[in-house]
Structure 1
């Protein structure tokens, strides 16, 4: 397959992967509440989703490395379609828990295989020195655009259907199910892979743990990869700090309109993320390489978090404008840094461990998010939101020291990596 075709197919799959979660984001909690679930029950449902993703993150990455990217992505589409079907029909806590558990399985299965497929395909066409940035940028940007479109559609569609259907909040989830079926179809038709040895169940069950051990071992032993995992943890702290504290801050500034204000800012934030992904190659070109470009994106993130901390001194509309502006700049910088960060990691690993390494990286990001939810949430309650954002900015600044200082690390063969 030629690189242009691979890039287009990866972008399409990325968009279809992220469109359903975007459609679900706005109406799901309201749908559960409207069907009788209390706040604690809704929290339990969402907690089960997160727990499912974390528990299955590494096994599904290993499964992708053992049986192939296409098969795992197709399974993700099938689980996603089943999840939205259950959620549309659910009217009780057990059914909502089942639907979100299935959605968690789908999310874990989709974490890494599409990107691994694109990198493997490009390496096969152009060699290991192929420039990954344009294709990764397009794919990640399309995912962010799909999220933005999904959030906006999921928020507006129920309003447009309120006089037409009995439960308009379920309509975005129906659309998400349709998009999941489309993802399954596209994966089966448009993502060819080299023939693989057909493995029996026993071979798969033995191969997945071996793939996980090998992938984790590479990440731990390779000094560059270990540093990049530290960067991912810091990015998780930065990301969770704004997801946790921005709604609270906007609520303080706008009163009852806080939810609406955050919804608008979050939707535009996905567009800012798409812009950051699209600008990542320019960051690398201007800075003089992917490592310097990633560090530059991280510095933009640091400055934006600092701006968020400073914005807490502003009241009223000025505070809203400053908070929203810093929020959007942070997403541009973090998205550009993350894409270049991923390119650095791909250069350090072989195809056989690629998806597993992406899962390890995702777990590091989630660990940072957990620490932010607990630590920065406590700090914000005791000292203030501005102090919590300032700490997040400082930790992100420290993470810039973890980036390697030479381009040579991009060319080191994984088998000889330290």
Structure 2
């Protein structure tokens, strides 16, 4: 991977990480509340769900670079709207743009880097590039989360943080245009036909590839469960953790966020070792993958029984360690099983499934917050996740 690409990806991850420790708190300062949080996150998830697959296909058609740049233009618009928002409706419009940016960003540059690696090294060492991408993402988001937590502590209106995000998005846009040279993409259907016809034709091919490749189908379905777990963590961890600390210790939010990315990076390295150990025994590799995906919602239940900040922090780190292991195994198997011409589209399908899981969490959160306390979500979401995992395993493995 070129050094310029590594710098771009690290800077991009820093930009993403900055907002992580204080995302819901920013919403509360700009028109949202704990009672409307489910609606805000629901609007975000709906935006991603609608645009996820079309964005991946467009990346396959016109190139990863253009779609990646577009995603950051949408982020720039979103942060500009948030900083000027003082009402729920303007905030919802802002998160719709944020969701659109995440949809167009998912898999665009990742697909390009994987394809460049395969072209140079083949598919035998895919775990190497996936580990590199995971570590870059973890280091960048770690640095971003540390900075975001510090800036949030300095300014509880989060104006400085949002201004920094706007500046960083402008830098990323111009830097991307300068350093990404996509001369040999796997763009398909360069015929003189309408975009709609090309999208429709590609969608049918992508669906067929997913249905006919059992491991890809399983990964897509398991991504729904992953989305439930991730959205539960990302939406409710801050409001849960601040119950254990005094307002003077809000700077700990950044530290907790940083621990997540250390966990993912460490988990990715552990996953690389496990994959190399088990890849000759495909059955055991699949079992280890299922095990990590079951273990993640089980670890969420630990938050429900946590009674202080220390145990919360430990459990939070363990959740992301488990996530890192599972992601490395999943990404390595996935990229070896799909074609370049559909890579971004299938990555978008997986991201869509994750965001659909986010919608499930928003629905559960809306019901729970109307009837009981927020802590119950840490029990209900894992139970739902484990039930879905059991159904997937029974349907596609035990009954096969």
Task: Please give the TM-score of this superposition, normalised by the length of structure 2.
Answer: 0.80
Contact in 2 for aligned 1:112/1:355 (Cα 8 Å): yes
- The structure with more radius of gyration: 1
Find 2:13's aligned residue among 18, 35, 43: 18
Match of 2:131 in 1: 137
Contact in 1 for aligned 2:70/2:104 (Cα 8 Å): yes
Match of 2:203 in 1: 212
Contact in 2 for aligned 1:133/1:280 (Cα 8 Å): no
Find 1:180's aligned residue among 149, 157, 169: 169
CA distance in 2, matches of 1:123, 1:156: 39
SS at match of 1:99: helix
Contact in 2 for aligned 1:87/1:99 (Cα 8 Å): yes
CA distance in 2, matches of 1:349, 1:38: 42
Find 1:116's aligned residue among 111, 117, 127: 111
Alignment of 1:331-350 (within 5 A): 331-350=320-339
Match of 1:415 in 2: none
CA distance in 2, matches of 1:43, 1:353: 33
Alignment of 1:223-238 (within 5 A): 223-238=214-229
Match of 1:412 in 2: none
Contact in 1 for aligned 2:135/2:265 (Cα 8 Å): yes
Contact in 2 for aligned 1:76/1:107 (Cα 8 Å): yes
How many residues were matched structurally? Answer: 391
For CA contacts below 8 A with separation 6 or more, give which structure has more relative contact order. 2
CA distance in 2, matches of 1:242, 1:396: 18
More off after superposition, 378-387 vs 305-314: 378-387
Match of 2:74 in 1: 79
Task: Report the CA distance shift for 1:395/1:10 in structure 2 as closer, same or farther (over 3 A).
Answer: farther
SS at match of 2:337: coil
Contact in 2 for aligned 1:298/1:400 (Cα 8 Å): no
What is the CA distance between 1:267 and its match in structure 2? 3.5
Structure 2: 5+ residue stretches without partners: none
Task: Report the CA distance shift for 1:207/1:138 in structure 2 as closer, same or farther (over 3 A).
Answer: same
CA distance in 1, matches of 2:26, 2:267: 32
Task: Report the CA distance shift for 1:218/1:19 in structure 2 as closer, same or farther (over 3 A).
Answer: same
Task: Report the CA distance shift for 1:204/1:155 in structure 2 as closer, same or farther (over 3 A).
Answer: same
More off after superposition, 131-140 vs 256-265: 256-265
CA distance in 2, matches of 1:130, 1:9: 25
CA distance in 2, matches of 1:246, 1:32: 14
CA distance in 2, matches of 1:286, 1:391: 31
Alignment of 1:193-204 (within 5 A): 193-195=182-184, 203-204=194-195
Structure 1: 5+ residue stretches without partners: 406-418
Find 1:69's aligned residue among 64, 67, 71: 64
Task: Please give the TM-score of this superposition, normalised by the length of structure 1.
Answer: 0.77
SS at match of 1:347: helix
Answer yes or no: is 1:358 the counterpart of 2:347. Answer: yes
Root-mean-square deviation (Å): 4.0
